[in-house]
Amino acid sequence: MEMRGTRVTLRPVVAADLDRLAAILATPEVARWWPAYDRARVEEFIAGEKDVAVYAIEVDGAVAGLIQVTEESEPEFRHAAIDLFLDPAAHGRGLGPEAIRLAARDLIERRGHHRLTIDPAADNERAIRAYAKVGFRPVGRLRRYQRFPDGSWRDGLLMEMLAEELRDG
């Protein structure tokens, strides 16, 4: 299934995307926030798992990043979580928010979700700013949430958005 926006298209990731995605993950700007993704781990990750959908983000017909959607299927806690990264050459043009809006609209309208979450590192100011533009708001600091390759546990920021809070660009 493909989702088309003005500048961004989301389509299911395929094995042929592996090299390109591994190269993007190896750039310092992305590795800083998505550390420790070597080729084998990227392969595993794009193979996906139950309740996880992984889409390539295409800009001008070329792969410029990846967005992952994880659905919580317990009925009492039903919601979906989003993660993404973009090639540094694509940063700062609002393409991340556009990709998130496409995924969010699909989750809300087609999959019937009422609540979405996203959990950047607490000091990832660009990501927090990008997510706020889409309608996510901070709900709390996740202490020592994510382990980095240097062995340190760093804080995250839980952000959430209810269906009616999704903002158009």
Q: List interacting residues with ligand COA (CB under 6 A).
A: 29-30, 33-34, 84-86, 91-97, 120, 124-127, 129-130, 133
Distance CA 55, CA 1 (A): 9
Of the candidates 54, 78, 76, the one whose C-alpha atom is nearest the C-alpha of residue 66 is: 54
User: Which CB atom, from 113 or from 136, has the smaller least distance to ligand COA?
Assistant: 136
Smallest separation, CB 75 to ligand COA (Å): 27
Distance CA 112, CA 94 (A): 26
Strand runs labelled E in the chain? 3-4, 8-12, 52-59, 62-72, 79-86, 115-118, 137-147, 153-162
User: Which CB atom, from 75 or from 97, has the smaller least distance to ligand COA?
Assistant: 97
User: Which CB atom, from 6 or from 76, has the smaller least distance to ligand COA?
Assistant: 6
- By beta carbon distance, the residue nearest ligand COA is 96
Which residues are registered as beta bridge partners of 4? Answer: 9
Smallest separation, CB 62 to ligand COA (Å): 16
User: Which CB atom, from 116 or from 127, has the smaller least distance to ligand COA?
Assistant: 127
